Chains A and B, each alone.
Chain A
């Protein structure tokens, strides 16, 4: 419960207009990238690190939960104020504070939108490499919290590989810098431990990001296969051949069927799977890699391999991939999106099992995946108005995630554990692993006020619950990104 005295104190810090506690305002903040919802008690929109520090001190003294939120595009329920309390919307902290082209760094506030940073530095022939599919909307703060990836992280790594330093506010309101402008920092890597901690350890208020030089040349190939097995085998073969493409994305027949009529990307609707492969770098190397990739992929009997000739061709090929999820509305009213990871060599095996599960339960599953790094995104199609279908969708979700872990993979590749997968954490980690992680929480947040309840299983609940979540259920056709 947050009483009126606390509200007044919050207003004194950020200004009355930036403290929202009317029902009509709170509704806007009860979602993240899913339909699961929980209303915060109050939403506060700070403008500076100092304001956040003051807010944290108030919350700490009154023992009120605080959930930081960027654009709310995540799919694990991570930005939902499940236990009420203060939801800290960081969208007003959206300034690019410094661009240093000589050192190839940018200093930004957490509310800066990912793509806007790349646009701002493009005049220096630089870009920010992590490119989540939601990059038009998602924020750097959210990316850091979830250690976001994106199609191009196959070659360039995920968010943690591109963050040099962060300014944070801890649960007591103390402001610190972890890391900085240099590549190396002696001692424990506090910067690294914060990235991907889903806002449970501290709140990131500034970030020093590593920028990359734009590649000289980019080529995109589309390989069309009769069936998923051939496409999956081709992915493993390309990686084994000694080439690491910048991106290697795959869509199965169902995803193609949904996407093609919606965006006219030029994918044949009768194809079993398509692979979208992008190669970047020196013009000569791109030519050499493209030739080698074509050679490898040809061994798996493609129906066709196309190379985008123009930038327009390339955009069109990517439009199919990027528009796949929203196009699923053509097939079912809802989808439940899974974000698991497997070793790429297990693609054929795991994708076959997913098809078997789909057949066994008679539930359609569309697959859109970052195939090169084994990040699967099966979308289980169902109608949430039908309780039985909904229940089965969740059951299948749990089975697929366990399949990923059994194959040597992970519960999440880029959306985090959040609420969605916390009860499955004991499937991947034993008590000692989880206890070791929990100890870290107490170093930064003794009262467990920062994004409480996320990541870790509820001990009482986990004994009985196998899998229960609804946070990643989405009405198809809305803006979900993977």
Chain B
């Protein structure tokens, strides 16, 4: 569609909006831009009906829409092929229903993780989810991206906590699936298409989540090692033990340098967050202590309360806040037992090109965040291309996937950000054309 027609359509679209939605028009800013593409207009709906109207009319006037949560990780995905309307959900940030005794909460998608956790905390409950920049990250955005953070419950994933969802389709139709109960086999679990769907099939507007009682006591054991092998092996021995853990991470010296946690000395870091009541927590601490001793630790310390929260939030923010923003970032998912032997290769392929890798691993889960920093500030473009090729080769040999989460446009374009799609591409396209036949939602970013 040529630019003149687009401009006319946009003007007609705005004219056609109800007054209450017109009141929610705002000007685009850097906040809304994706890969340096900015929308023409931005709407901040205050109800499901507003979202519905926005989408229905965008379809009518052939405008392309990108739903936006906290705009913390808009870099994920391919560059949009067209981006006319930014649809921010920040104003939809209410708790709709919360009954602590049912371990269930239903919220609007625009609620931030921080606000949600605060509400739960009042009843000694929590959502076992971690995400970068929790003061901005919204539940809808976190689910649309679909990846899990360092915090996991019983080694599960983000999607395990969603019991129901309301979504709004590109034609404005509002539909729900699932419900507020943990056990529910009533029709298809449509939420599965939207978790990780990057807002390409519909806009997530409400979510029901399973929450958990907050552990009575928690402590994190922070250990540094001289070698990667010792640190990783120690991590795996803790993973395989029966002790209660909420987070277990290996962080390499490059990542630790960027995390800049003053109380932690340089080295290979293993951090584990333990929980329990009195006796059980002491038992966990003792057992971790005895496992660590078998792997030559350099320093061991314990952190609690706010200090503990701050360290784990830094781990979650890694790569997404301005202090740790990398030039290139890949999210690698592997069978857990192949993580140990790939870490060294990931480091060496980067270091040999004169660059510094930062690696943060969710041990046992098999995910590695691989960040490359432009040490000299004049990196040659082909170095990054070679790194992406090397990483994907190493990962594919181990039957994993390596998604480019952040990187310069030329890298994203040349290599494609997604990995592991090939086999299901046909079905993905069929889903997209069934649920978004006009391709108005986030065009090009996933497919």
Question: Chain A residues in contact with chain B, CB under 8 A?
Answer: 100, 102-105, 146-147, 149, 153-158, 160-161, 176-178, 180-193, 195-198, 201, 210, 212-213, 215-216, 236-237, 239-244, 281-285, 287-289, 341-345, 370, 373-375, 408-417, 421, 425, 428-430, 432-437, 439-440, 442-444, 455
Contact = CB atoms under 8 A, between A and B. Distances in A.
B186 interface: yes
Given A183-B366, A196-B189, 20 more contacts: A153-B183, A154-B182, A184-B331, A184-B367, A188-B424, A188-B427, A188-B431, A189-B146, A242-B216, A244-B212, A282-B283, A284-B282, A288-B278, A341-B179, A342-B181, A344-B103, A373-B183, A430-B175, A436-B177, A440-B193
Contact of B185 (A196, A282, A287): A196
Given A188-B197, A285-B277, A437-B190, A373 B177 contact: no
Contacts of A153: 182-183
B209 to A, nearest CB: 13
B101 interface: yes
Nearest to B283: A284
A374 B405 CA distance: 40
B286 to A, nearest CB: 10
Contact of A410 (B159, B183, B282, B403): B183
Given A193-B188, A287-B279, A213 B242 contact: yes
A187 B183 contact: no
Nearest to B176: A433
Nearest to B123: A240
Q: Which 6 A-B pairs have the closest CB atoms?
A: A192-B192, A242-B213, A285-B280, A413-B183, A284-B279, A436-B175
A116 to B, nearest CB: 23
Interface in B78-124: 99-104, 124
B336 A103 contact: yes
Nearest to B401: A186
A412 B184 contact: yes
A188 B420 contact: no
Contact of A161 (B99, B156, B336, B420): B156
Contact of B189 (A160, A212, A283, A444): A160
Contact of B434 (A176, A416, A417, A442): A442
Given A183-B366, A436-B175, A158 B183 contact: yes
Nearest to B446: A187
B447 to A, nearest CB: 9
Interface string B407-433: 000000000001111011001101100
B157 interface: yes
Contacts of A177: 423
B166 to A, nearest CB: 9
Interface of B: 99-104, 124-125, 146-148, 154-157, 159-160, 167, 169, 173-177, 179-190, 192-193, 195-197, 201, 212-214, 216, 240, 242-244, 276-280, 282-284, 331, 333-337, 365-367, 399-401, 403, 418-421, 423-424, 427-428, 430-431, 434-435, 446
A128 B128 CA distance: 22
9 contacts: A192-B192, A212-B154, A282-B280, A374-B182, A417-B186, A437-B188, A439-B434, A440-B188, A443-B427
A437 B177 contact: yes
Given A182-B366, A373-B183, A413-B183, A284 B101 contact: no
A343 B163 CA distance: 12
Contact of A181 (B180, B335, B431): B335
A190 to B, nearest CB: 6
Contacts of B159: 189, 192
Contacts of A409: 179-181
A242 B124 contact: yes
A439 B435 contact: yes
Contacts of B336: 102-104, 183
A6 to B, nearest CB: 28
A241 B123 CA distance: 10
A81 B179 CA distance: 29
Most chain-B Cβ atoms within 10 A of its Cβ — which of A100, A186, A196, A434? A186
Contacts of B160: 157, 160-161
Nearest to B402: A186
A187 B283 contact: no
A256 B157 CA distance: 39
A186 B101 contact: no
Given A181-B335, A188-B197, A413-B185, A408 B148 contact: no
